[in-house]
Each structure stands twice: as C-alpha cells, then as structure tokens.
Amino acid sequence: MTPESCESEGGLEGAKPVDGAAPPVWGRVVGIDPGLNVTGYAVVDPGPRGPIVVEAGVIRPGSSNRAMGQRLDYLHRNILELLAAYPPGALALEKVHSHVKFPRTAILMGHARGVIVLAAASRGIPVFGYAASRVKKTLTGSGRAPKEQMQRAIQTELGLDELPEPHDVADACAIALCHFQIGRTLRSLKGR
C-alpha cells in the first residue's frame, strides 16, 4: 500500500497492540461500509485457498429520530468492540462519495467515517479508503458492475454457499476483498 492510500496515522507496517489488547492477526482486514442508520462490517482473514470471512454483520446506530451524537457514540463503541474482538492488520473503508442531488448523504457518511477512523487510530490500525468504483473494478474488472455481479464475485472469491446479504454486509465484504487483493498484488510485485 502506498502512503497516499492510508487515511490514518497508523504505520504502514500494520497495527500494534494497545493497552494489553490482543496482537493483530497478520493479513486480517476489517472491511466497513459506513452509515449512520446501518454500518456493515466483514472480518476477512487469509486462508490456504484464499480469503475467508471470519465474522460479518451490521451495526445499527439507530434511526434519524435519535440524536446524532448518540448514534455516533453507539457506532464508535461498537467499532472499538469489533476491533478488540478481531484485531486486524488493516481496516478498509469506503471513501465518501457525493452526488449533486444528495449532498446531505456525503456529509452524514463523513460523520460515520470519522468515528470509524478515530476508533482505528486509537488502536493503531492503519485505515485505507477505496472509492466504490475502485472496489467494483478490483473485484469484477468493471467500475460500473451492477450489485448482482458484485455479489456473485464476492460469493466466488470467499467461497460462500449463498450470496452475501444484506447489502451492507456484501459491501463490507467487497471493501475488505478489494484491500486484500490490492495488497496481494503489491506484495507479488515487490517479490519480483
């Protein structure tokens, strides 16, 4: 990974244990699809035949009737718990995307990303951000791949019996896989 792709202050050599926490698992990536209503996550480890999902799910900070601070606090605490339970070498996160018709969405996503990056930084975990089009291109060869094609690519790459659901988990798996594949490619290029 290049220093420019790293969003956190964590070192590129990987995470370091904090306050007696378990050491990170080398090669483990936590992928996160950030959101204030639903945040998807996936813990992906290297396996003998390719990447495997160790844990995946969603964090539900609540609906928009809850105060923003409460939702962000809930998300932050749950991300810290996830990182303590499954200490990764890296955290991969979707970059903020904006659409001229929906600027509020980018702002809200930025809030969620902020507390996720803070949680990772507090544990010394480097954070890498990827644009949705980069994730799609890495997994399917097309930056405009439809959701079904992405789900099939994730299912194949991870050897899943079923398509990953809900879409928040599928997106988190895709982000983790993107980081995993880019890292694998960079390591193989260095070995030449």
Which residues are catalytic, by number? 33, 94, 168
DSSP state letter for 14? -
3-state class (DSSP) for residue 5: helix
Backbone phi and psi for residue 181, each to the nearest 5 degrees, phi listed first = -70, -40
Residue 105 CB neighbours (<10 A): 15
Contacts (Cβ under 8 Å, ≥6 apart) of 106: 96, 97, 98, 99
Cβ–Cβ under 8 Å, residues 53 and 173 = yes
Structure token digits, residue 38: 């639903």
